[in-house]
Homo-oligomer: A and B are copies of this chain.
């Protein structure tokens, strides 16, 4: 990547790759027509910040290259200096899923990091929590109103007596009886709810509130052994239990069980853990053209550091890797890993087709306003989060990670569905980049938000944890911001710092991925 000097009002543009024939306008507020860029090009049109300028004369049908790949074709003649946007371009066809390169390239060598630790809560199953939270999961939405009351009372009346426990959260979800539980795809939401309950931050002490008559019976949600608390099955409070007389008796039951679990959790203590116990879910949302220039490359740099330290990093978002599938299959550790990745994307293609949709449904008006012409360009900027290391495995939606290293978690790109599936995969830290801005937060794990632009980081000073916009202005390099992010992940994982969303207690709801019909 090349860019000009960091003088605030000097015209600035960013080229990502030597073969590119477009660059990104970096200046706040964009640049007017007639502006002379330092590379000698004069703008034909006014171009907004983050949008693309043609670096060469393009004829109709010419390939438009960014990140060294074809992101679109010119739909008309476009002289150099023109504004390149979705209205003057055509999207390439989706790459076929057969004949892809599999495990053909080796990651560039990188020294292993062996001397870094974080302070975490080690669990009986070997996983490590970054927070110490009592989770109450539910088998069906019917019980949510009662659980919400119980959680408020536990927080007020019990939590102060267990100072080592950070919080109590209800794992509320919409799943329940209104689902075709035996439909082939229903396994996805069921295993998601199950595996979220096993998230390392809950210390194996998740309790269950059940109604009693629901389809998703507690034994089906949590078969014996799915959570090991001193070899017991998880505690279940059944609201329809004959012993419950009136609302208060239900609250009393939940609180009594909760207190038992709080006592267990309160004994947990942080201890030094190798970085290989980190499971970091990365995603992007509310993206703009800077996402792929500043924040996502910095995340990619941190991903490489984490993987070199033995940590697990999960990148996701099916529609945002679909157009770059060949890069990913080539980077897989084995042909089998590549096949698993292809199988997930193929299943997802067919899922979209069944609903008469395709990958182009991913881009939002905000993406386009932010300069992303189409899903291909968005994908190239999204994949960068995965860094350069070998892809060690693939996690089907709702499954838990079984290997360490860099993993592809197959999920929709929806921020909340992706986050929910990464929670199920076992993430104990979440990194989220945003260009347009979102006040995203989860009650279950710390969410570090990285802004793609300095302007956003300044305005949302108490909502953004890190300003990657300094990469565009030249104040910092990708390496510097990537190293800052690496250090921030360690500090927040260790409980020495809290993320913005934690301080403000901003919590988005869980959003299950349910490809099965509801009844």
**Contact A415–B357 (Cβ < 8 Å):** no
Q: Which residue of B lies closest to A412 (CB)?
A: B518
**Which residues from B are CB-within-8-Å of A359?**
519
**Contact A355–B440 (Cβ < 8 Å):** no
**Contact A415–B142 (Cβ < 8 Å):** yes
* Complex CA distance for A172 and B148, rounded to whole angstroms: 15
| Other-chain contact of A511, B141, B217, B352 (Cβ < 8 Å) | B141
* Complex CA distance for A506 and B250, rounded to whole angstroms: 13
**Which residues from B are CB-within-8-Å of A436?**
211-213, 240
Among A177-195, those with CB < 8 Å from B are 177-185
User: Within the complex, what minimum Cβ distance (angstroms) separates A245 from chain B?
Assistant: 5
**Which residues from B are CB-within-8-Å of A183?**
355-357, 361
**Contact A149–B506 (Cβ < 8 Å):** yes
A214 within 8 A of B: yes
Given A437-B239, A437-B240, A504-B247: A519 in contact with B370 (beta carbons within 8 A)? no
**Which residues from B are CB-within-8-Å of A146?**
439, 506
A 399-442 binary contact with B (CB < 8 Å = 1; else 0): 00000000000001111111000000000000000001111110
| 9-residue interface stretch from A13-21, A65-73, A252-260, A454-462 | A454-462
**Contact A412–B508 (Cβ < 8 Å):** no
**Which residues from B are CB-within-8-Å of A181?**
361
A286 within 8 A of B: yes
Interface of A is mostly: loop
Q: Which residue of B lies closest to A213 (CB)?
A: B366
**Contact A178–B417 (Cβ < 8 Å):** yes
| Other-chain contact of A508, B142, B149, B418, B519 (Cβ < 8 Å) | B142
Q: Which residue of B lies closest to A414 (CB)?
A: B178
**Contact A519–B366 (Cβ < 8 Å):** no
| Other-chain contact of A211, B212, B286, B369 (Cβ < 8 Å) | B286
**Contact A144–B247 (Cβ < 8 Å):** no
Given A366-B214, A438-B142: A184 in contact with B356 (beta carbons within 8 A)? yes
User: Within the complex, what minimum Cβ distance (angstroms) separates A457 from chain B?
Assistant: 12
* Complex CA distance for A217 and B250, rounded to whole angstroms: 42
| Other-chain contact of A217, B172, B365, B505 (Cβ < 8 Å) | B365
**Contact B244–A370 (Cβ < 8 Å):** no
| Other-chain contact of A413, B178, B184, B441 (Cβ < 8 Å) | B178
User: Within the complex, what minimum Cβ distance (angstroms) separates A424 from chain B?
Assistant: 16
A76 within 8 A of B: no
Given A142-B286, A217-B365: A438 in contact with B211 (beta carbons within 8 A)? yes
**Contact B141–A519 (Cβ < 8 Å):** no
**Contact B141–A509 (Cβ < 8 Å):** yes
Most buried by B among A180, A181, A182, A441: A180
A176 within 8 A of B: yes
**Contact A417–B518 (Cβ < 8 Å):** yes
**Which residues from B are CB-within-8-Å of A517?**
351-352, 354-355, 357, 361, 515
**Contact B463–A246 (Cβ < 8 Å):** yes
**Which residues from B are CB-within-8-Å of A250?**
439
**Contact A439–B508 (Cβ < 8 Å):** no
User: Within the complex, what minimum Cβ distance (angstroms) separates A502 from chain B?
Assistant: 12
A145 within 8 A of B: yes
Given A176-B414, A519-B357: A461 in contact with B364 (beta carbons within 8 A)? no
A157 within 8 A of B: no
A 131-158 binary contact with B (CB < 8 Å = 1; else 0): 0000000000111111011000000000
| Other-chain contact of A180, B142, B180, B357, B369 (Cβ < 8 Å) | B357
Excluding A214-B366, A250-B439, A362-B519, 9 further A-B contacts by CB distance (< 8 Å) are A142-B508, A176-B414, A177-B285, A178-B416, A183-B355, A183-B361, A211-B437, A244-B460, A357-B517
Instruction: Jot down 28 A-B pairs with beta carbons below 8 A, ordered by A.
Output: A145-B508, A178-B413, A178-B511, A179-B414, A180-B352, A180-B357, A182-B361, A183-B357, A184-B355, A211-B286, A211-B366, A211-B436, A213-B369, A213-B370, A213-B436, A239-B437, A240-B436, A244-B459, A245-B460, A245-B461, A246-B460, A247-B460, A247-B463, A247-B506, A248-B462, A352-B519, A357-B517, A361-B519
Nearest first, the 4 A-B pairs at minimum CB distance are: A178-B414, A213-B366, A180-B357, A355-B517
